[in-house]
Amino acid sequence: MTSAFTSFYRSLTRHKLFAALNIGGLALGIAVFLVLSLFVRFETGFDRWIPGADQLYVVQETYHMPGYPETPSPYTMGNELLQLRADYPQLQGARIAQMGATVRQGSSNTREAMAAVDPNFFALMRLPVVAGDPTRTLADPDGLVLTQRAATSYFGPKSPIGRSLTVIANGTTYTYRVGAVIADMRKDQSYTSELFVPLVASRFANEWFDHWGSTSLVTLLRFPDRAAARQFEGELARFAARRVFGDDIKKGQWEQSLRPLVDNHLYAASDRAVVTTLGAVGVLTLLIAIVNYINLATARAGLRAREVAVRKVLGGTRRSLIRQFMIEAMLTVALSALIGLALTEIALPLVNAAGGMSLHLTYVGTDSVLLLLVPLILLVGMIAGLYPAAVLAGFRPAAVLAAARAPGGGRAGARVRAGLVIVQFAVAIAFAIGTTVMLAQANHVRNADLGFRRDGLYVVRSLNSGSILPEQKRALLRTFAALPGVSHVTLAQNAPGDQSVTNFSSIYQPGMQGIRSPSLMDVRIGEGYFDTFGARLIAGRQLDPSRPSDDMAQHVKGSTPAFNTVINRTAVGLLGFASPQAAIGKQVDGNGMMTIIGVVDDLRFRGPREAIAGTFYRYDSRPLNDAFITIRYSGDPQKMADAVEASWKRIVPTEPFEGRTIEENLYKAYYEQDTRRGRLFTMGAVLAIAIGCIGLYGLAAFDTTRRIKEIGIRKALGASTRDVLQLLVGKFLRPVLFANLIAWPLAWVAMQRWLSTFDDRIGLSPAYFLLASAIAVLIAVATVIGQSWRVARAEPARALRYE
């Protein structure tokens, strides 16, 4: 055993380059694998840590209407749970309505996330309790449950139980009494909030709360098992027939189903695809590193053939030799794993920063990383050790001592190594293509025409608290418009990256109801909306505040004449007009009679993944509730932000200010997650390619060393340096080129699928494939050529003396 350790130590120090490549490459692979498996565990572990989470289900709704997104929405009407309970008294459920609220302490106002929940919420969602009894607390209409963070922030280190807190929600001031404290929210949790208050209808129900077709909150149900949940899903159809279907919602247009809470986070196929892909990147990178390791280990074993031959001559048995090689392999892999673990610890803070996560390694318990690493060490060590051990121990000593080329495991060995290089580079090239396509798509999303100019726009998002008076809104609009550099200001229900109210209505040309009645999104806008965004008017005219028929405020419900609306380009097609021009002056019905007076080009206010909804815009001269102010300005963004905030504090001193540039707003709402995941993918892909190159480098180093004498012979026979270079580089290029044949279809299918999750996307051009492959080939040539050059140039006489 001691001699095995000595031999291990010496084999490390004797072939320093090989040892470094071997151990470093595998360590890097293990690190990438660990980081990405932590990511996968994080993403797939959402809510699973909550006791009894697998018994919880979210009621979701799907609309089947033209123009309306078919994706299920996990929100319901406010009082659905009460109606369900009336029909199914045994049913267990709780509601959660998430909102923003302002906490007032003296003169300081802080915006917090608040949730209004049924008193039994914490009996279903069993979040860890720090103090008090949440369920009993919420039985009191003024009871308040806080997270530890909120408790400490408002009451310091002393116990908050029994203390009171002033909270402004929907414009009304309440005094709540703290009854319980729960643990801080986690990042792997679907439904989070800092403050939890009882869901009192008189406080939190709006005009839509009790209307089918509206979505006010999340309805959670609990079932003992999946079968019971599935059975109840069948009941939901009968429930809808009894309670829901009627004039507003017709059978076939709408259905409800149950979404397991634990599936909630990765419910979208595109999200699951990203997590699967990143998981695959981790596994494949590890695979590349293992392939590398085995490749280099078997190659290196050849260089030790003489040592083996001598040991055999001196009486070493096959068994003792195999044991020696196995121990060496295990020790090397263990060393790699240790370094990989260290690399992971070093990388995690960076990865967390880049990916917006809270990944960490656990060493003890059921989550222990060692449970993953130890079998990995044994397995890799076994494979990596067994092959060279068997090959080397099988060498015939006489043949080894007499051979011209140093043995490298024979023809079969060389073929296996070439095959492994192909696998490795196929994966690496597929990653390179994936990275290229993702970067191109990201670039496209950054620069795509959204229908409006995205620079020089600033959005004020803090008008939603409900406590801002109409006069204050008017004053804000006036003041912002007067700021230096501001050209337009508008108040509307949406802004790029934001929408407060999303209403869809079935709109149709007279006589076309039911035949062609698409769901169009209803957006209410204030003055200057299209000018602020720089939207392109493609037919007709804009809504004009000076014309009474353009203003909803002056329109009496049910009266004629019809009021005027502007629709977008998508709506033109959905309504069945031949051209934007053809729509002008036409009347449409479904939400009261409306006359189309203008068509604007599509405005992409939502993310690149969502299709643009057919939209009709209506002007309202009254300051809208639940709205956003968007400002068009020129000049320094920071100065503008400061000026806007200063004006806000003067006019609405009681409400905290929140504002962003549109670029930031879009990024936070739609691009951030893709960007972060893209970064993770790129990191993984770059490292996978790097590990592949380490392998190729090592193999090239090994092969050229082994062939020094042969090269001498070839040169003596008249081969020029160029001939030799061609020979050596060509040998390594062939498998790399062949790898392209495998990589291209793989990458094509994968990237086609990925791109299909975007509505606004680039085409999958061969250029990305050629570029990525060219880069891979270049890197491969650069990796090999240094060594080949050195050997190809050497004096043949020296090479011929080489042993």
Partner 1 sequence: MIELNAIHRAYRSDEVETTALADIDLSVQAGEFVAIMGPSGCGKSTLLNILGTIDRPTSGTYLFEGEDIAKAPEAQLAKLRRDRLGFVFQSFNLIDELTIAENVALALAYRSMPAREKRERVDAAMDRVGIAHRRNHHPHQLSGGQQQRAAIARAIVGEPKLILADEPTGNLDTENGAQVMDILTRLNADGATIVMVTHSPAHADIARRTVHMLDGRILSAVRRAA
Gap between the Cα atoms of 294 and 297, Å rounded: 5
- Among the listed ranges 10-18, 70-78, 327-335, 790-798, the one in contact with partner 1 (CB under 8 A) is 790-798
- Among the listed ranges 128-136, 467-475, 578-586, 789-797, the one in contact with partner 1 (CB under 8 A) is 789-797
Contact 284, 688 (CB under 8 A): yes
Exactly one of 709, 742, 746, 755 binds partner 1 (CB under 8 A); which one? 709
Q: Is 85 in the site for partner 1 (CB under 8 A)?
A: no
Nearer to partner 1, 243 or 731 (CB): 731
Q: Is 3 in the site for partner 1 (CB under 8 A)?
A: no
At its nearest, how many Å lie between partner 1 and the CB of residue 731?
Answer: 12
Q: Is 649 in the site for partner 1 (CB under 8 A)?
A: no
216-251 exposure pattern, b = at least 16 Cβ within 10 A, e = fewer: bbbbbbbbeeeeebeebbeebeebbeeebeeeebee
Contact 128, 183 (CB under 8 A): yes
Q: Is 417 in the site for partner 1 (CB under 8 A)?
A: no
Exactly one of 156, 718, 763, 766 binds partner 1 (CB under 8 A); which one? 718
Nearer to partner 1, 111 or 709 (CB): 709
At its nearest, how many Å lie between partner 1 and the CB of residue 714?
Answer: 7
3-state DSSP call for residue 373? helix
* x/- letters, 164..203, toward partner 1 (CB under 8 A): ----------------------------------------
Select from 158, 154, 156 the least CA-distant residue to 167: 154
- Among the listed ranges 86-94, 138-146, 579-587, 705-713, the one in contact with partner 1 (CB under 8 A) is 705-713
The long-range contacts involving 69-75, CB below 8 angstroms and separated by at least 24 positions, are 69/610, 69/611, 69/613, 71/268, 72/257, 72/259, 72/267, 73/215, 74/218, 74/259, 74/264, 74/267, 75/215, 75/216, 75/217, 75/218
What does each C-alpha distance from 803 to 15, 236, 414, 600 come to in angstroms? 16, 81, 20, 79
Nearer to partner 1, 228 or 399 (CB): 399
Q: Is 710 in the site for partner 1 (CB under 8 A)?
A: yes
At its nearest, how many Å lie between partner 1 and the CB of residue 300?
Answer: 19
Identify the bridge partners of residue 711 per DSSP, sorted by sequence position: none
Nearer to partner 1, 399 or 646 (CB): 399
Nearer to partner 1, 727 or 785 (CB): 727
Exactly one of 712, 728, 751, 773 binds partner 1 (CB under 8 A); which one? 712
Tally the C-alpha atoms within 13 A of residue 645's C-alpha that lie toward its C-beta: 12
Phi then psi dihedrals of residue 495, to 5 deg = -155, 160
DSSP string, 434-489: HHHHHHHHHHHHHHS--SS--TTEEEE-GGGGS---HHHHHHHHHHHHHSTTEEEE
Q: Is 720 in the site for partner 1 (CB under 8 A)?
A: yes
Helices 672-706 + 766-793 axis angle, to 10: 30
Identify the bridge partners of residue 100 per DSSP, sorted by sequence position: 113
- Among the listed ranges 181-189, 241-249, 542-550, 792-800, the one in contact with partner 1 (CB under 8 A) is 792-800
At its nearest, how many Å lie between partner 1 and the CB of residue 424?
Answer: 23
Q: Is 16 in the site for partner 1 (CB under 8 A)?
A: no
At its nearest, how many Å lie between partner 1 and the CB of residue 417?
Answer: 14
Contact 634, 458 (CB under 8 A): no
Q: Is 795 in the site for partner 1 (CB under 8 A)?
A: yes
Gap between the Cα atoms of 11 and 385, Å rounded: 14
Reading the block at residue 731, the tokens are: 């040998």
At its nearest, how many Å lie between partner 1 and the CB of residue 791?
Answer: 14
Exactly one of 304, 473, 660, 715 binds partner 1 (CB under 8 A); which one? 715
Contact 392, 321 (CB under 8 A): yes
At its nearest, how many Å lie between partner 1 and the CB of residue 293?
Answer: 25
Exactly one of 378, 403, 646, 741 binds partner 1 (CB under 8 A); which one? 403
Q: Is 405 in the site for partner 1 (CB under 8 A)?
A: yes
- Among the listed ranges 14-22, 256-264, 553-561, 794-802, the one in contact with partner 1 (CB under 8 A) is 794-802
Nearer to partner 1, 423 or 785 (CB): 785
Reading the block at residue 241, the tokens are: 């027939």
Q: Is 411 in the site for partner 1 (CB under 8 A)?
A: yes
Q: Is 601 in the site for partner 1 (CB under 8 A)?
A: no
For tokens 């909803």, the residue is: 552
At its nearest, how many Å lie between partner 1 and the CB of residue 716?
Answer: 5
Nearer to partner 1, 239 or 789 (CB): 789
Q: Is 412 in the site for partner 1 (CB under 8 A)?
A: no
Gap between the Cα atoms of 390 and 409, Å rounded: 10
Cis-peptide into 128, omega within 30 deg: no
Exactly one of 192, 742, 796, 802 binds partner 1 (CB under 8 A); which one? 796
Select from 97, 199, 183, 201 the least CA-distant residue to 143: 199
Nearer to partner 1, 342 or 797 (CB): 797
- Quick one: how far is CA 24 from the chain centroid? 30
For tokens 């990237």, the residue is: 751
What does each C-alpha distance from 722 to 230, 379, 715 come to in angstroms? 71, 43, 10
Q: Is 86 in the site for partner 1 (CB under 8 A)?
A: no
Other beta carbons within 10 angstroms of residue 557's beta carbon come to 6
Which helix (H) or strand (E) element contains residue 196? strand 195-198
Residues 6 or more apart whose Cβ sits within 8 Å of residue 384: 290, 293, 294, 297, 329, 332, 333
Gap between the Cα atoms of 524 and 627, Å rounded: 9
Gap between the Cα atoms of 677 and 276, Å rounded: 12
Select from 750, 741, 727, 740 the least CA-distant residue to 774: 740
Contact 666, 458 (CB under 8 A): no
For tokens 């299918």, the residue is: 749
Number of residues that bind partner 1 (CB under 8 A): 26
At its nearest, how many Å lie between partner 1 and the CB of residue 373?
Answer: 40
- Among the listed ranges 372-380, 532-540, 633-641, 721-729, the one in contact with partner 1 (CB under 8 A) is 721-729
- Among the listed ranges 129-137, 383-391, 423-431, 713-721, the one in contact with partner 1 (CB under 8 A) is 713-721
Reading the block at residue 68, the tokens are: 């309306």
Gap between the Cα atoms of 707 and 791, Å rounded: 9
At its nearest, how many Å lie between partner 1 and the CB of residue 715?
Answer: 7
For tokens 């090994």, the residue is: 702
- Among the listed ranges 321-329, 384-392, 397-405, 535-543, the one in contact with partner 1 (CB under 8 A) is 397-405
Reading the block at residue 104, the tokens are: 């007032």
Q: Is 723 in the site for partner 1 (CB under 8 A)?
A: yes
Nearer to partner 1, 364 or 402 (CB): 402
At its nearest, how many Å lie between partner 1 and the CB of residue 718?
Answer: 2
Nearer to partner 1, 602 or 703 (CB): 703
Q: Is 713 in the site for partner 1 (CB under 8 A)?
A: yes
Q: Is 302 in the site for partner 1 (CB under 8 A)?
A: no
Reading the block at residue 507, the tokens are: 């709109």
At its nearest, how many Å lie between partner 1 and the CB of residue 408?
Answer: 10
Nearer to partner 1, 614 or 712 (CB): 712
Q: Is 793 in the site for partner 1 (CB under 8 A)?
A: yes
At its nearest, how many Å lie between partner 1 and the CB of residue 708?
Answer: 12
Q: Is 803 in the site for partner 1 (CB under 8 A)?
A: no
The residues of the shown chain that bind partner 1, judged by CB under 8 A, are 399, 402-405, 411, 709-710, 712-723, 793, 795-798, 800
